[in-house]
Amino acid sequence: MAKIMAINAGSSSLKFKLYEMPQEQVLTSGIVEKIGHDDAIFTLKHQGEKINKILSIKDHAEAVKLMLDELINNHIISSYDEIKATGHRIVQGGKYFKHSEIFNEDVEAKIESLIPLAPLHNAAHLIGYRAFKKILPNIGAVAVFDTAFHMTMQEEDYIFPIPYEYSEKYDIRRYGAHGTSHHYLALESKKYLSDVKHPKIITCHIGSGASISAIKDYQCVATSMGLTPLGGIMMGTRTGDLDPSVMKYCCYCENKSAEEMFQIFNKKSGLLGVSGVSNDSRDVLSALENGNKRAILAYKLFIRRICDFIGQYYVRLGGCDLIVFSAGIGENSPETRTMIIEQIKDALHVEIDEKLNSSLRGKEGLISTSNSQIKVAVIPTDEEVMIARDTYNLLLKGN
Ligand code: AMP
């Protein structure tokens, strides 16, 4: 038995989940937010209770120390030594990483070299990793990459049709994202596919960030996000795929730089931009119910983009045995699932049981009928357990 911490570090936040491995038992979880501020927020979830503190935290190292001290104060661990390893989510692994790796100087340098491809994320992940290394210098750490699961794609699935020398010189390609989630969903899908020889799965990770993957024999063959998480389907605040001339023309009309427009396409577009209401699907859905025309259009567009990708991946896979819905919207919004199935049902001969569908919010289960030619399941995703598993397997298993 060993305690392992799965970590997702952002530029001003640090999310953590402590596991007892290999049992995969969650001992506690929490988040430190607004790091670098006098009113930073520390939240710890333990035995059904939530502990909240507001205090000054100057940097990530201080956040790590505070978090570990709180684990001791709450009798979750008795000393720092009880933590045997840490696993870190890394958004961009570039061309280097096809699976998780134990941190060393080379791994650290490669993650650093990829900062231009994921400026906010990779830089923050390294800050988090270095903070843990400072406070817990004697334990191993593992990097778990969001892009690794997608590295099995074929060239024609990941190369963009730009001058090929750009792709070569600058490593421009579809890297995708949410790979750890799509991988988890693929593994969890096995129980629904025991009678299928070469399973074909379409996983729909639909949260505020959203992506869809086509998976054959439990390996990724295509995914919707692109060079960065801006590509693919429309999202809470991101455009998803666009004709590049939209970017150029918007810059010209609004007299804005490419960088300014890139920020707008990342942070002010998608459901928020089209509806003018919110980036949160719940707000857009309730505005839609009240007849708000732009909310109706935004949601129609959102659903259409999802269905376009499902159709594309059905063809790419040569059929489909299982469609999986996951993440904030996919897990919790039966209305959204209904709207999607409604649009693909005639072409793909897929049917869901509305009673089963409406009963599933944040819980796992099949929602398709026995007549459906494709099974449909809701599976809550769990990226943290994948981080804990890889960390345990690479550093502690067999020791
Ligand atoms: P995520 O990024 O996976 O945390 O997902 C966030 C999205 O999930 C937001 O758009 C939320 O509106 C949506 N969401 C979360 N809970 C619900 C719910 N109960 N019903 C509908 N949408 C939800």
Number of domains in the chain: 2
Q: Is residue 79 part of a domain?
A: yes
Q: Is residue 173 part of a domain?
A: no
Q: Is residue 107 part of a domain?
A: yes
Q: Are residues 258 and 327 in the same domain?
A: yes
Using one digit for the tens of pLDDT, what is the confidence trace for 111-158? 999 998 887 789 999 999 999 999 999 999 999 999 999 999 999 999
Q: Is residue 359 part of a domain?
A: yes
Q: Are residues 137 and 208 in the same domain?
A: no
146 is catalytic: yes
Q: Is residue 150 part of a domain?
A: no
CA distance 338 to 303: 10
* Structure confidence at residue 47 (pLDDT): 86
Angle, CA of 390, 394 and 397, to the nearest 5°: 100
Q: Are residues 130 and 263 in the same domain?
A: no
* Residue 208 Cβ contacting ligand 1 at under 6 Å: yes
The single residue of 69, 106, 146, 217 carrying the catalytic annotation is: 146
Return the residue matching tokens 């070469």. 198
Q: Is residue 188 part of a domain?
A: no
Segment (H or E) for 348: helix 334-348
Query: What are the CA-CA distances from residue 41 to residues 5, 31, 67 (Å)?
Result: 20, 8, 11
* Structure confidence at residue 262 (pLDDT): 94
As a dihedral over the C-alpha atoms of residue 128, residue 129, residue 134, residue 140, rounded to 10 degrees, the angle is 150
Q: Are residues 230 and 134 in the same domain?
A: no
Q: Are residues 228 and 354 in the same domain?
A: yes
Q: Is 384 helix (H, G, I), strand (E, B) or coil?
A: helix
* Residue 329 Cβ contacting ligand 1 at under 6 Å: yes
Q: Are residues 90 and 221 in the same domain?
A: no
Q: Are residues 245 and 327 in the same domain?
A: yes
From ligand 1's centre to the CA of 281, what distance in Å? 6
Q: Are residues 135 and 219 in the same domain?
A: no
Q: Indicate the top mutation candidate among 332, 357, 363 to test ligand 1's pocket, ranked by most ligand atoms within 8 A of CB.
A: 332
Identify the segments of the chain with pLDDT beneath 50. Answer: none
- For the CA of 335, the nearest atom of ligand 1: 21
Q: Are residues 244 and 105 in the same domain?
A: no
Domain of residue 374, residue span = 194-383
Q: Is residue 337 part of a domain?
A: yes
Q: Are residues 132 and 67 in the same domain?
A: yes
* Structure confidence at residue 331 (pLDDT): 97
Q: Is residue 177 part of a domain?
A: no
Q: Are residues 258 and 377 in the same domain?
A: yes
pTM to 2 decimals?
0.94
- CATH code for position 236: 3.30.420.40
